[in-house]
Amino acid sequence: MRSETPVAVQLKDYQAPDYFIERTVLDFDLYDDHSTVTAELTVLRNSDKGSDLPPLVLDGQELELLSVSIDGQELPSSAYQVSDNHLTLQPQTKRFVLRTQVRIHPESNTALEGLYRSGKMFCTQCEAEGFRKITYYLDRPDVMSAFTTTVRADKQRFPVLLSNGNPVAQGEEGARHWATWEDPFKKPAYLFALVAGDLWCVEDSFTTMSQREVALRIYVEPENLGKVQHAMDSLKKSMKWDEEVYGREYDLDIFMIVAVSDFNMGAMENKGLNIFNSSCVLASPETATDAAHQRVEAVVAHEYFHNWSGNRVTCRDWFQLSLKEGFTVFRDAEFSADMNSRTVKRIEDVVFLRTNQFAEDAGPMAHPIRPDSYIEISNFYTLTVYEKGSEVVRMLRTLLGADGFRKGSDLYFERHDGQAVTCDDFIKAMEDANGADLSQFKRWYSQAGTPRLAVSSYYDKASAEYTLTFQQSCPATPGQSEKLPFVIPVQMALLSADGEHLPLQLKGEDSAQGCERVLAVSEAEQSFTFVGIEAEPLPSLLRSFSAPVKMSVEYSREQLLALMQHDSDGFNRWEAAQQLQLAILNGLIAAVQAGKTLKSDPQLAEVFAGLLADSSLDQAMLAEMLSLPSEALLAELAEVADVEAIHQAREFLRKALAQALYAPMWQRYQALRAQSREQAYAADAEQIARRSLQGKLLAYLMLTEKTEVKAACVEQFEQAHNMTERLNALACLVNSSFAAEKAQALAQFAEHFKDDALVMDQWFSVQAGSVCPGTLNQVKALMQHPAFSFKNPNKIRALIGGFCAQNPIHFHAADGEGYRFLADQVIALNALNPQIASRLLTPLTRWRKYAPARQAQMRAELERIRASGGLSKDVFEVVSKSLA
């Protein structure tokens, strides 16, 4: 832990490196109480920077330096300086081989960065700056090197020794053995990986578009071999999709995935050797929900796609993180849309963005997708860089068209293969391939905050002209008080009274150009006039959520109902339903605040009844339409989030709907459950849709507290042949007042799954999210449960994160106990795992959203963390920016 105040790194200070590392030869000797790392680096002066020889400053942290030599000559300790973060020496020639040997302690590495132990195995995590905890190096992404790695360990306990690239040699030395791997592709150190363990693998192969055979291996601990098939299928689908959609072929002869239990993030795209959080690889019908299956598919695809968008073409510096992450999230989202229901995928992503990224953009950590400065880069693996970054790439495709976008990505990959580049290079390739000028569009990379887009319309019957006027603005964010107008692509259509989509001809055009088009709004205020419009139309705007903005349009309830029925854009049909629900919920929230008795609005129940009766409606869509906006989204949308009023209003509406629609819901539920019983589980779109609807209905029905529903819920919990139905039923029981059934179900579940860590995570989360009284005490008690561990990030996320981030009514309890609890956990975790500590803090950073009393309590806890001493850079940055 540090004592001095950490300093921020600035994008504007970027300088190319003084030296490059052409070749990197590593040798790891792994033991239980220490490991040694020998590195032979072929260092070369960057000739672009001159012919003098400045000092070579290598990064290194928590390394015990054993020896240093240059070109075979051992250096005396007077010839170099070692500090907490660097090894500095004076080169005598412009090219030389530097050899260092260090001792490190993976066995006591709880930060899970660098080389560490997860259970019995050794593994690494080097992005962003973890390699410097392994050996002295130029640990920056614009230094790319060819790696050869030898790993040595005990033969019996670590039969599998892996690193990047292809295996080239192996051998034995008594009780120990070794393996050497060679990666022919130059890469930055953040893509380095090593694994040693008693691992088993499922093996398959893929024939690439140029007929090369690639061996595919997924390594897991032996007890998990039965849970790998879904990930393997997902991998093969991803490889095929990237060939078909982006023309990208895999390059090495082998592609490996390793599942580890202790991992700070979802997964990591190390060249040829992806390392995954086991939660993003393992899935079986009995142990993983549909959502978990879809997450595995998406993360496997995401990491695989990085082989081109990230590895072959990488980032020049960490300010460019969205270059690889935003683009790759966009790629994986499109992949998932092609594999499953496109509309549902879009709805899920937009709900997530609006609930979480919009909140980040409105808070103290708001930053552009390409930040200008950071104290700790780990804090910038954010929803803004990832999800908003993906939205920005999506807007590019919307503006350039699918073909233009593909030409741009082809040029980008071709032009920059093997290079470390910037977001500007990406945009330049898109411009050059399309003859486009994207200079104003680039403001999306430099300006933070969620733009507002207000829309008004004017219809002139006499001239048959219809004018849409857009006004855009963007709220101030830290360090950015004034914003310039963005380029906002508004995908749109105009509907006639009977739901026809009208031909769209702008004033000045010779003819209509289809019934859907994209308006590029680029000025603070801008109007578009359509001609030949015989009667006032109903506009369908921002279709498929074509830009990450907050749009306001004044629709009447009738208009929303018409959009729900007739809009040919599935996303906008759902959006109309959301807007109707929001209007009703906001009315109820105001009524709670005014102390009025709540009255149910019959309109929504009528709409839902119609939807339930419509047998032609896609079940996935129906499930989405029946989902009310979450409390978290309502809080984000509110000027001041009134936690209790939001909770009461929403619970009131849910109960009212359940009572009004009991008969059709109960009938539909039973039919769906009967189908589930008869069919073998498959994680396909149709079945996922069915279970999703079934789950939504059960949750509504349970609010009626009817005995027949309780019995059905217990039946589903006990008899379901898959985790989706079982967990849905468990969640309903946990949130109900049926104390006996709840206790029994929880006990039964824990008994059955006690040895399955990932299932126990779900058991912790369900309880952490309970709306019933006493949840915080229950969470505290569960921290003592044998399946819980403070050192395992998945456990922290499930239980502590589940409570603080997914349970607003209890986290924001008026007595401040929720805040105190979170601060205590952050203080304890700060020393153990700074990245997890810092992420956990997010809910406290949102204090400005709440009324003064809560603000004071939340700030007081942030102050307490700040004063607790010995803060990691990670926690320091978030706390100090939140209190600024």
Kindly list the catalytic residues: 303
Q: Which amino acid is at 43?
A: V
β-pairing, 525-530 vs 550-553, is: unpaired
> Which of the choices Zn ion, ligand PHE, none does residue 381 contact, using the CB cut-off of 5 to 8 A by kind?
ligand PHE
Q: Which residue is nearest to ligand PHE (CB)?
A: 265
Q: Which is nearer to ligand PHE, 390 or 728 (CB)?
A: 390
| Cα–Cα nearest to 195, from 230, 221, 174, 169 | 221
Q: Which is nearer to ligand PHE, 150 or 872 (CB)?
A: 872
Contact (CB, 8 A) for 449 and 361: yes
Can residue 265 be called a binding residue for ligand PHE (CB under 6 A)?
A: yes
Q: Which amino acid is at 373?
A: S
Collect all residues with Cβ–Cβ distance below 8 Å to 241 and sequence separation of at least 6. 301, 335, 338, 339
Burial of 657 (0-12, 13-18, 19+ CB in 10 A): buried
Contact (CB, 8 A) for 793 and 825: no
Collect all residues with Cβ–Cβ distance below 8 Å to 348 and sequence separation of at least 6. none
> Which of the choices Zn ion, ligand PHE, none does residue 861 contact, using the CB cut-off of 5 to 8 A by kind?
none
Measured in whole angstroms, the distance separating CA 624 from the mean position of its chain's CA atoms is: 21
Shortest distance, position 327 Cβ to Zn ion, whole Å: 9
> Which of the choices ligand PHE, Zn ion, none does residue 268 contact, using the CB cut-off of 5 to 8 A by kind?
ligand PHE
Can residue 269 be called a binding residue for ligand PHE (CB under 6 A)?
A: yes
Q: Which is nearer to ligand PHE, 268 or 366 (CB)?
A: 268
Shortest distance, position 356 Cβ to ligand PHE, whole Å: 16
The Cβ-side half-sphere exposure at 446, using a 13 Å CA radius, reads 15
| Cα–Cα nearest to 187, from 243, 145, 136 | 145
The CA distance from 159 to 180, in Å, is: 14
Collect all residues with Cβ–Cβ distance below 8 Å to 419 and sequence separation of at least 6. 313, 314
> Which of the choices ligand PHE, Zn ion, none does residue 125 contact, using the CB cut-off of 5 to 8 A by kind?
ligand PHE
- Of residues 59, 303, 334, 861, which one binds ligand PHE by CB under 6 A? 303
| Cα–Cα nearest to 861, from 879, 848, 836 | 879
Binding window for ligand PHE (CB under 6 A); candidates: 179-187, 300-308, 435-443, 845-853: 300-308
Shortest distance, position 388 Cβ to Zn ion, whole Å: 14
Q: Which 106-125 positions form the footprint of ligand PHE (CB under 6 A)? A: 125
Token pair, residue 299, equals 């993360």
Q: Which is nearer to ligand PHE, 374 or 574 (CB)?
A: 374
Shortest distance, position 326 Cβ to Zn ion, whole Å: 9
- Of residues 35, 45, 102, 127, which one binds ligand PHE by CB under 6 A? 127
Q: Which 309-338 positions form the footprint of Zn ion (CB under 5 A)? A: 325, 328
Shortest distance, position 63 Cβ to Zn ion, whole Å: 28
Shortest distance, position 128 Cβ to ligand PHE, whole Å: 6
- Of residues 158, 381, 444, 574, which one binds ligand PHE by CB under 6 A? 381
Shortest distance, position 359 Cβ to ligand PHE, whole Å: 20
Shortest distance, position 830 Cβ to ligand PHE, whole Å: 18
Can residue 192 be called a binding residue for ligand PHE (CB under 6 A)?
A: no
Grouping H, G, I as helix, E, B as strand and the rest as coil, residue 255 is: strand
The CA distance from 108 to 742, in Å, is: 40
Contact (CB, 8 A) for 263 and 276: yes
Size of the site for ligand PHE (CB under 6 A): 12
Q: Which is nearer to Zn ion, 327 or 803 (CB)?
A: 327
Q: Which is nearer to ligand PHE, 261 or 477 (CB)?
A: 261
Token pair, residue 852, equals 């003064």
Q: Which is nearer to ligand PHE, 489 or 793 (CB)?
A: 793
CB atoms within 10 A of CB 135: 29
| Cα–Cα nearest to 192, from 200, 181, 208 | 181
Tokens 């978990």 found at: 292
Q: Which is nearer to ligand PHE, 128 or 702 (CB)?
A: 128
Shortest distance, position 276 Cβ to Zn ion, whole Å: 12
Contact (CB, 8 A) for 450 and 361: yes
> Which of the choices Zn ion, ligand PHE, none does residue 726 contact, using the CB cut-off of 5 to 8 A by kind?
none
Q: Which is nearer to ligand PHE, 189 or 723 (CB)?
A: 189
Can residue 150 be called a binding residue for ligand PHE (CB under 6 A)?
A: no
Shortest distance, position 328 Cβ to Zn ion, whole Å: 5
The CA distance from 488 to 546, in Å, is: 8
Shortest distance, position 382 Cβ to Zn ion, whole Å: 12
Can residue 376 be called a binding residue for ligand PHE (CB under 6 A)?
A: no
Q: Which amino acid is at 413?
A: F
| Cα–Cα nearest to 854, from 802, 825, 813, 800 | 813
CA distances from 546 to 350, 431, 467, 580, 619 (A): 10, 20, 20, 20, 24
Q: Which 217-236 positions form the footprint of Zn ion (CB under 5 A)? A: none
CB atoms within 10 A of CB 237: 17
| Cα–Cα nearest to 242, from 334, 320, 310 | 334
3-state secondary structure 121-189: EEEEECCCCCHHHCCCECCCCCCCEEEEEEEEEECCCCCEEEECCEEEEEEEECCEEEEEEEEEEEECH
- Of residues 221, 325, 334, 575, which one binds ligand PHE by CB under 6 A? 325
Grouping H, G, I as helix, E, B as strand and the rest as coil, residue 807 is: coil
What x-and-dash track marks residues 216-255 binding ligand PHE by CB under 6 A? ----------------------------------------
Segments in 387-539 forming alpha helices (H): 389-416, 423-434, 443-446
- Of residues 187, 302, 370, 710, which one binds ligand PHE by CB under 6 A? 302
Q: Which is nearer to ligand PHE, 101 or 322 (CB)?
A: 322
The CA distance from 557 to 563, in Å, is: 10
Binding window for ligand PHE (CB under 6 A); candidates: 259-267, 338-346, 454-462, 752-760: 259-267
Can residue 313 be called a binding residue for ligand PHE (CB under 6 A)?
A: no
> Which of the choices ligand PHE, Zn ion, none does residue 193 contact, using the CB cut-off of 5 to 8 A by kind?
none
Can residue 268 be called a binding residue for ligand PHE (CB under 6 A)?
A: yes
The CA distance from 412 to 433, in Å, is: 9
Binding window for ligand PHE (CB under 6 A); candidates: 77-85, 267-275, 475-483, 862-870: 267-275
Q: Which is nearer to ligand PHE, 122 or 381 (CB)?
A: 381
Q: Which is nearer to Zn ion, 328 or 422 (CB)?
A: 328
Q: Which is nearer to ligand PHE, 101 or 384 (CB)?
A: 384
What x-and-dash track marks residues 587-606 binding ligand PHE by CB under 6 A? --------------------
> Which of the choices ligand PHE, Zn ion, none does residue 624 contact, using the CB cut-off of 5 to 8 A by kind?
none
DSSP bridge partners of 273: 256
| CA angle at 587 for the pair 586 and 593, rounded to the nearest 5° | 90
> Which of the choices ligand PHE, Zn ion, none does residue 265 contact, using the CB cut-off of 5 to 8 A by kind?
ligand PHE
Size of the site for Zn ion (CB under 5 A): 2
Shortest distance, position 378 Cβ to ligand PHE, whole Å: 7
Shortest distance, position 306 Cβ to Zn ion, whole Å: 6
Chain residues that interact with ligand PHE, rule: CB under 6 A: 125, 127, 264-265, 267-269, 302-303, 306, 325, 381
Chain residues that interact with Zn ion, rule: CB under 5 A: 325, 328
